[in-house]
Amino acid sequence: MSITTTSLAFLLAALSYFLFSSPPKQHYHTLFLSPPFSNNASIALNLRTLTRRPHIAGSDANAEAAAFVLSIFTSSSLKTHLVSYHVSLTYPLHRSLVLTPTQSAKPITFTLKQENLVDNNPYANEVTPTFHGYAKSGNVSGPVVYANYGRVQDFVGLNVSGAVVVARYGKIYRGDIVRNAYHAGAVGVVIYTDERDYGGGGDECFPVSKWMPPSGVQVGTVYNGLGDPTTPGWESVDGCERLSEEEVEMSGDMPRIPSLPISAADAEVILKSVVGDVVDGDVYPVGPGPGVLNLSYIGETVIAKIENVIGVIEGEEEPDRYVILGNHRDAWSFGAVDPNSGTVVLLEIAQRLDKLKRRGWKPRRTIILCNWDAEEYALIGSTEWVEENREMLASRAVAYLNVDCAVSGPGFRASATPQLDELIKQAAQEVRDPDNTTQTVYDSWIGSSNSGVIGRLGDLTSDYASFVQHVGVPAADMRFGGGYPVYHSMYDDFTWMEKFGDPMFQRHVAMASVLGLVALRLADEEVLPFNYVSYASELMKSAQDLEKDNLNNSIDVSMLFKSIQDLSTAAQEIHIEKEGIKGALKVRELNDRLMMGERALTDRDGLSGRTWYKHLVYGPAKYNEYGSKSFPGIDDAIDNAKRVKTKASWGLVQHEIWRVSRAIRHASLVLKGELT
């Protein structure tokens, strides 16, 4: 849309407000997108305020940030409240890393410090020393072995027994790197940021360019579960039942060997002490040794108070149907991209909705804005809240819309459960691309390298995980820009955002427009804008991929294809039914079926051996939490069968295929709305 047609649309919308007492909802949606409603200056100011001090979960600075979010919610006339939990967090008490390059050489002690590179930063000294959340405490020593990205395949043929593994970030979740190293026999792990993955600027780095400085360290958690580790499956309210430390360790999700994140500069010194074969096309030899690393990490575990900030706009006609938007607030240090670019988008949406309300708009359904805490440790704030409100959400939540790293550069990206695909594409067509105003966000997106591909939400990367995987709530996640070099380091600060991430704060504006429009349409349209036809075709693709995965001849997948075919038919029928629907109760009944379709894909027993994960279609890959899997239960079983190669193990694969087929069949029964 050009500037003039946007202004014209705005004028028409404004005019219609004066002419009609109750303009249709679309008029308000047009207003929501109009230039006078957005405010990049206030976005920049809010981001500056939120990122003034480092604000790790459990800190005073993060409580201060919560009070700020609450104040903006309140001044945007939302009904607000805080929801607190008392959860297990860890902080570093003692860290040391000493390299003995050869038996006769003098040991080198690393400082483990990121250099402060921004002038006038009075809070640089408040940055938590670099560490891994929930890392195992201990002193270990061993020869250095280089294990590339630390994937399962990287350890094949590598003897890391008794060694301290050096691995680089960039392909899988860091908790899985530590776990893979442990299973391979290592005694400790250091994980570093390689210039080949995060450098790229030659000698130039932040604050001159966007690239990670040599002393930069990617901090992060190494826990393999989600939610407070001491309350698996229930909410961490004050005085609640908790697992003992031993029980938590037995859960299998805690790291079993100590680890530390380190800088590219330190890794370079360490890798110089390694001899041996050069890995296929790689510049570093793998070892072991002769360099020896002594790694010491002592952490303290505390029960800390965390706070979710909740703001509500009650729906006029269906107050008991919830459209939920969420973003976390806690950061490993300043958190300008991760997560507060998302927080300021949430605040911008709150302020725009306030302006709409002042012009007479009321949503049909209830809109809930959630600002989560302790996401960085294990998606804790959102997970505890979902566990506490599971039944209410299961019966009332229409959708959950997540925004975490809202802006790290140009280029729109989205992930979603597939019934939301079409809605996201339509919303992206209504907003101009901030980086090329001659076309829409959608045009740029389909013209980009990821050509409009929508990701899925089976991973544990952000706060949508509990909504999708524990309850089966339709969900979406959106951002501008992909991975960025200063991720989880102290250089992810306001200066980085202002210089490189979003100099005009117009990407933030566009994010608020797309996300906000998706929320508005979900909250206002009489019939929910869900399309299960896309869901069925997405499932068909996953099933075809599965079939190609050279299964054992004895495996029958026909029931899976049959169930998807049935879903496709039911989806087409409800799509037609939507057109002619009349009468409040009939509309409500149809919407309930659309809402509950996703729930049907969950199963009370959950994934085998990972029972908290209820969704049988989308769940985390077993060896990489960042990886989203279709049919994770089938995948786990195939993985196992290919290793043990017994009849019984292939029988379990068949069983998992049956389970998924039944869930999909139930989804089509729900869409049809008839008892058998």
Ligand X SMILES: *[C@@H]1O[C@H](CO)[C@@H](O)[C@H](O)[C@H]1NC(C)=O
- Residue span binding ligand X (CB under 6 A) among the ranges 77-85, 156-164, 210-218, 312-320: 156-164
Amino acid present at 634: I
Q: d(Cα 271, Cα 285) in Å, to the nearest integer? A: 8
- How near is the Cβ of 501 to ligand X at its closest, in Å? 12
Q: Is 288 in the site for ligand X (CB under 6 A)?
A: yes
- How near is the Cβ of 94 to ligand X at its closest, in Å? 6
- Residue span binding ligand X (CB under 6 A) among the ranges 11-19, 337-345, 511-519, 642-650: 642-650
- Residue span binding ligand X (CB under 6 A) among the ranges 171-179, 345-353, 436-444, 489-497: 436-444
Closer by beta carbon to ligand X, 107 or else 233: 107
Closer by beta carbon to ligand X, 40 or else 569: 40
Residue 324 to residues 7, 63, 174, 449, 515: CA-CA distances in angstroms? 30, 22, 29, 30, 11
DSSP label of 499: I
Size of the site for ligand X (CB under 6 A): 27
Q: Is 448 in the site for ligand X (CB under 6 A)?
A: no
Q: d(Cα 625, Cα 233) in Å, to the nearest integer? A: 18
Closer by beta carbon to ligand X, 44 or else 367: 44
- How near is the Cβ of 131 to ligand X at its closest, in Å? 15
60-119 positions binding ligand X, by CB under 6 A:
96, 98, 100, 107
- How near is the Cβ of 143 to ligand X at its closest, in Å? 6
Q: Is 40 in the site for ligand X (CB under 6 A)?
A: yes
DSSP letters, 214-254, are: TT----EE--SS-S-TTSTTS---TT-----HHHHHHTS-S
Q: Is 650 in the site for ligand X (CB under 6 A)?
A: yes
Peptide bond into 290 cis (omega under 30): yes
Q: Phi, psi at residue 522, to the nearest 5°?
A: -65, -35
- How near is the Cβ of 631 to ligand X at its closest, in Å? 19
Residues in Cβ contact with 301 at an 8 Å cutoff, skipping those fewer than 6 apart: 88, 89, 90, 245
- How near is the Cβ of 505 to ligand X at its closest, in Å? 4
- How near is the Cβ of 161 to ligand X at its closest, in Å? 4
Selected from 13, 31, 33, 44, the binder of ligand X by CB under 6 A is 44
Q: What is the dihedral of CA 161, 162, 167, 172, to 10 degrees?
A: 60
Q: d(Cα 630, Cα 541) in Å, to the nearest integer? A: 10
Selected from 7, 128, 139, 301, the binder of ligand X by CB under 6 A is 139
Q: Phi, psi at residue 660, to the nearest 5°?
A: -65, -40
375 is catalytic: yes
Buried b (16+ CB within 10 A) or exposed e, 471-494: bbbbbbbbbbbeebbbbbbbbbbb
Selected from 162, 200, 319, 409, the binder of ligand X by CB under 6 A is 162
DSSP letters, 117-148, are: -STT-TTGGGSPPS-EETPPPEEEEEEEEE-T
Closer by beta carbon to ligand X, 16 or else 49: 49
Q: Is 36 in the site for ligand X (CB under 6 A)?
A: no
Q: Is 259 in the site for ligand X (CB under 6 A)?
A: no
Q: Is 49 in the site for ligand X (CB under 6 A)?
A: no
260-279 positions binding ligand X, by CB under 6 A:
none
Q: d(Cα 70, Cα 81) in Å, to the nearest integer? A: 8
Helix (H, G, I), strand (E, B) or coil at 189: strand
- Residue span binding ligand X (CB under 6 A) among the ranges 36-44, 70-78, 356-364, 468-476: 36-44
Q: Is 121 in the site for ligand X (CB under 6 A)?
A: no
- How near is the Cβ of 552 to ligand X at its closest, in Å? 4
Residue by residue, what is the 3-state secondary structure of 261-311? EECHHHHHHHHHCECCCECCCCCCECCCCECEEEEEEEEEEEEEEEEEEEE
- Beta bridge partner(s), residue 397: 322
Annotated active-site residue in 348, 375, 384, 625: 375
Residue 594 to residues 363, 535, 562, 577, 671: CA-CA distances in angstroms? 19, 12, 21, 12, 6
Closer by beta carbon to ligand X, 42 or else 84: 42
Residue 141 to residues 261, 263, 474: CA-CA distances in angstroms? 16, 19, 47
- How near is the Cβ of 562 to ligand X at its closest, in Å? 23
Yes or no: say if 311 and 76 are a contact pair by the CB < 8 Å rule.
yes
- Residue span binding ligand X (CB under 6 A) among the ranges 157-165, 518-526, 570-578, 608-616: 157-165
Residues in Cβ contact with 438 at an 8 Å cutoff, skipping those fewer than 6 apart: none
Closer by beta carbon to ligand X, 494 or else 505: 505
Q: Is 146 in the site for ligand X (CB under 6 A)?
A: no
Cβ atoms < 10 Å from Cβ of 523: 25
Q: Is 439 in the site for ligand X (CB under 6 A)?
A: yes
Instruction: Look up residue 579 and give its two tokens.
Output: 């057109």
- Residue span binding ligand X (CB under 6 A) among the ranges 56-64, 138-146, 348-356, 366-374: 138-146
Q: Is 41 in the site for ligand X (CB under 6 A)?
A: yes
Pairing of strands 365-372, 108-109: unpaired
Pairing of strands 618-621, 624-630: antiparallel
- How near is the Cβ of 649 to ligand X at its closest, in Å? 8
Closer by beta carbon to ligand X, 26 or else 552: 552
- How near is the Cβ of 403 to ligand X at its closest, in Å? 19
Selected from 54, 58, 101, 143, the binder of ligand X by CB under 6 A is 143
- How near is the Cβ of 341 to ligand X at its closest, in Å? 13
- Residue span binding ligand X (CB under 6 A) among the ranges 154-162, 174-182, 246-254, 664-672: 154-162
- Residue span binding ligand X (CB under 6 A) among the ranges 257-265, 268-276, 365-373, 435-443: 435-443
E strand residue ranges, 515-635: 618-621, 624-630
Q: Is 554 in the site for ligand X (CB under 6 A)?
A: yes
571-590 positions binding ligand X, by CB under 6 A:
none
Selected from 4, 438, 558, 676, the binder of ligand X by CB under 6 A is 438
Instruction: Look up residue 243 and give its two tokens.
Output: 């697992």
Q: Is 299 in the site for ligand X (CB under 6 A)?
A: no
Q: d(Cα 575, Cα 531) in Å, to the nearest integer? A: 7
488-547 positions binding ligand X, by CB under 6 A:
504-506
Cβ atoms < 10 Å from Cβ of 85: 27
Q: Is 294 in the site for ligand X (CB under 6 A)?
A: yes
Dihedral sign of CA atoms 330, 333, 339, 340 in order: positive
Residues that bind ligand X (CB under 6 A): 40-41, 44, 96, 98, 100, 107, 139, 141, 143, 159, 161-162, 288, 294, 296, 436, 438-439, 504-506, 552, 554, 645, 647, 650
Q: Which residues are catalytic?
A: 375
